[in-house]
Amino acid sequence: MGNQFYRRLQINPIIAAIKDEHQLQRAIESPCEIIFVLKSDIFNIRSIVGKIRASGKGVYIHVDLIEGLAKDALALKYIHENINPDGIITTKTSLVRASKNLDIFVIQRFFVLDHLSLNTGIHSIESIKPNAVEILPGIMPKVTKIFTNKTNVPVITGGLIMDKEDVMNSLKSGAIAISTSKEEIWDM
């Protein structure tokens, strides 16, 4: 399950994050091995995942942002059995637990705004052990280093990644990858 995710990141640690179907073809044509689908709805998610899978790339969908689907275990089961992404992304601890019970690769997303959210995130990771975490904003190398040092879970950084320097700083601080919707970074 996770081996494919990590193999793809060894080839290219930059993840194309798409917010709409206009970015889909560009992401498929990019050198990125993994695509995060950040927004979708019940009418287009199967088609988007199918196109990405047909291109040979990995696809992970942000289940919190699929319009028209509940944010519960039954929706996850439906996604797993009918849409078949390589994994999911969520901010919700309950969905991380449900994903693990369904043997779905899960990336838990954290917004680190202050010390409280930093400590809460670390505690959450230690207790439920998602397959990977994504911390936002991704331009905080010190925070990335804290997450990588205090948890035994691979860290992805995302949000506000502007240029090659941000990518390099994230990777140097221990992140295994960065995710970005900024298309010019996809080709780095």
Instruction: Quickly state the pLDDT bin for 1 (edges 50, 70, 90).
Output: low
With contact defined as beta carbons under 8 Å apart, do 107 and 89 qualify?
yes
Q: Which two tokens stand for residue 43?
A: 């009418």
Ramachandran area for residue 39 (φ above 0: left; ψ -120 to 50: alpha; else beta): beta
Q: Using a cut of 0.85, tell me whether the model's pTM lies above it.
A: yes
The pLDDT tens digits of the residues spanning 39-87 come to: 999 999 999 999 999 999 999 999 999 999 999 999 999 999 999 999 9
For residues 53 and 81, is the Cβ–Cβ distance under 8 A? no
> pLDDT per residue over 93-143, tens digit each?
999 999 999 999 999 999 999 999 999 999 999 999 999 999 999 999 999
pLDDT recorded at residue 173: 97
Q: Transcribe 3-53 into DSSP letters.
A: HHHHHHHHH--EEEEESSHHHHHHHHHSS-SEEEE--EETTTHHHHHHHHH
**1-89, superfamily in CATH?**
Aldolase class I (3.20.20.70)
Give residue limits of the domains in the chain. Answer: 1-89, 105-179
Same fold, 1-89 and 105-179: yes
Task: Determine the topology of domain 105-179 in CATH.
Answer: TIM Barrel (3.20.20)
Q: Which two tokens stand for residue 80?
A: 């797993």
CB 36 within 8 A of CB 16: yes
Structure tokens at 141: 């190398």
pLDDT at 2 over 80: no
CA 37 – CA 171 distance, rounded (Å): 22
What's phi and psi for 130, nearest 5 deg? -65, 165
Helices (H), the chain: 2-11, 21-29, 45-54, 73-78, 93-101, 115-128, 141-150, 164-172, 183-186
Q: What percent of the chain has pLDDT over 70?
A: 99
